[in-house]
Amino acid sequence: MKSAPRKIPARLRANTDFSYVEQLPHATRRTAAIYEYWRHSDEHKEVIAAFRKAGVFKEEWDGKGLDPKLRQKCLRQPQIFDLEFIDLFCQDDAFPEKPFRDSGLKDLRQSWRTGIDVLDPFDSESWNALKGFRKVLARRGQSEMDVYGNQPPGTTVWVISINWRSYRDAELTDQFGKMIRGGLRPPEFPEPKKAGRGGRSAGSRALDMLRQLAAFRLLNAGFDFDSTSKLTHYRSPKGWKNAVLKAEKRLGNMTKQPIFD
């Protein structure tokens, strides 16, 4: 027998309605997913609170006030405790109490660390973001190459110079295809037989992850599939159950492996 529809409280709806994420740039979707999952991790929340209290990312920080053990933990596990996102979430007091949609980060333009770095030479916001990022790195005693060299497994970083005045779009896409077939793809990462989840962009994966998290949160708040089927992305009990299990597994591995692996 199906459960009677129940009204979802406003607070829970704010924490489970991720429809707005579909309108966000892919880089911001990724940030939203990390933000929302970190809200469930006591260790990540502890790190944010400690860095925020010590003023680590402020210009005047003197290197004091932060537990050396905590600092070392972050340095030893940069993919788990990503300093880029620690910096972002320290800047916004919304974390971890408020959902991403109510933070100032939702409207923040991000032009670096999106998989491929893209800078528009005519867009001052892009360059300001990069300059701000460089300041953060300088305070850490790092360079841009320290970041670019610390990419997720299975990726490579290339600097490509394109003379846009000389080539049509079709020529560029054709040439890039030839480059891949000519050996650009590393031999240790052969072409997947099908794109699947691994072939999708981080933005699409982030949206999936948030939908799974919404199902998990609703279930833990006492709502089942039948009472929320019209309010989530899932259209079958099996899909709902799989989503909950995936979110639960991801949350259980928060300090063991990166959210985006």
Please give the average per-residue pLDDT across 74-99, as a whole number.
Answer: 89
Where are the strands (E) in 119-212, listed by range?
A: none
Overall domain count for the chain: 1
pLDDT at 48 over 90: yes
The dihedral sign for the CA sequence 253, 256, 258, 261: negative
Question: Does residue 167 form part of some domain?
Answer: yes
Question: Does residue 194 form part of some domain?
Answer: no
Structure confidence at residue 168 (pLDDT):
83
Give the CA-trace dihedral at 250, 256, 260, 261, to 10 degrees. Answer: -120
Structure confidence at residue 236 (pLDDT):
86
pLDDT at 119 over 60: no
Amino acid at 223: F
When pLDDT is cut at 50, 70 and 90, the band that residue 194 belongs to is low
C-alpha span between 259 and 33 (Å, rounded) = 9
Evaluate whether 114 touches 26 at the Cβ level (below 8 Å).
yes
Question: Does residue 26 form part of some domain?
Answer: yes
pLDDT at 116 over 60: no
C-alpha span between 51 and 43 (Å, rounded) = 12
Structure confidence at residue 120 (pLDDT):
42
Please give the average per-residue pLDDT across 69-83, as a whole number.
Answer: 87
Tell me which of 144 and 11 has the higher pLDDT: 11
pLDDT at 43 over 70: yes
C-alpha span between 5 and 113 (Å, rounded) = 42
Instruction: State which residues form the domain around 165.
Output: 10-186+201-252
pLDDT at 210 over 90: yes
Q: Mean of the per-residue pLDDT values for the chain?
A: 79
Question: Does residue 191 form part of some domain?
Answer: no
Residue 188: CA count within 13 A, CB half-sphere:
4
Question: Does residue 216 form part of some domain?
Answer: yes
Question: Does residue 146 form part of some domain?
Answer: yes
Please give the average per-residue pLDDT across 111-139, as a whole number.
Answer: 51
Question: Does residue 105 form part of some domain?
Answer: yes
pLDDT at 186 over 50: yes
12-26, 68-82, 83-97, 216-230: segment of lowest average pLDDT: 216-230
What are the b/e assignments for 221-255, b being 16+ CB within 10 Å?
eebebebbbebbbbeeeebbeebbebbbebeeebe
Question: Does residue 217 form part of some domain?
Answer: yes
Structure confidence at residue 118 (pLDDT):
43
What are the b/e assignments for 53-75, b being 16+ CB within 10 Å?
ebebbeeeeeeeebeeebbebbe
C-alpha span between 97 and 209 (Å, rounded) = 20
C-alpha span between 128 and 123 (Å, rounded) = 9
20-to-24, 25, 211 alpha-carbon distances in Å = 7, 11, 12
